[in-house]
Amino acid sequence: MSIIVGLTGGIGSGKTTVAKLFQKHGVPIYIADERARLLMERPDVVEAVQQIFTTSVINENGLLDRAKIKQLVFDNKTLLEQLNQVVHPRVKKDFEDWLEEHKDSPFVIKESAILFESGLETSCDLVILVVAPEEVRIERVMARDGVSKDQVLKIIDNQMKDEEKVGRSQYIIENNNKKTIESDIITIIRDINSKNHLI
């Protein structure tokens, strides 16, 4: 069975860049957000999600209006919890099926922005944390999403602080635009492969 490695980091830390570099070196990557997005297009999931809300969250194509849902749950913890109860068990099952497909790989990576917040790290053998200075993260998200600095700061404030995540991670990748991170990734791949017979 493969070693399961969690990959996480706050918004704008550059997790996706790091994930793609691992993929380039032949490591299978499960991107939780992307898989959840695909799962939310299934008719049974569309129906289950709609039942949570009093207003329609289905667009003219019969798919979930993700922007509207995001808006409705942003300041409503109860709705967010209900949404997570629909989505998370299905993502968990999807990951188990995906893991079975990749069971011959020495290790696989499960990428999730909320790995610690959602308790997903308990299903991982090791965790890689991607960090970057706050000003770099703010610039990246503003450029990528076309949002204001205040909006980015609000999201950062809602996420677990890096200091707390560092103490719970086995590997830290500093992604600050100043140096290449590929050598760090190669080192981590070698180290995890050397642990393979120990786990």
**Residue 131 gets which letter from DSSP?**
E
Residue 93 annotated as part of some ligand binding site:
no
Q: How far apart are CA 28 and CA 98, in angstroms?
A: 10
Residue 122 annotated as part of some ligand binding site:
no
Residue 123 annotated as part of some ligand binding site:
no
Residue 54 annotated as part of some ligand binding site:
no
Residue 78 annotated as part of some ligand binding site:
no
Dihedral Cα 72, 74, 78, 83, nearest 10 deg: 70
The rounded radius of gyration (Å) of the Cα atoms in the chain is 18
Annotated binding-site ranges: 12-17
Annotated binding-site ranges for ATP: 12-17
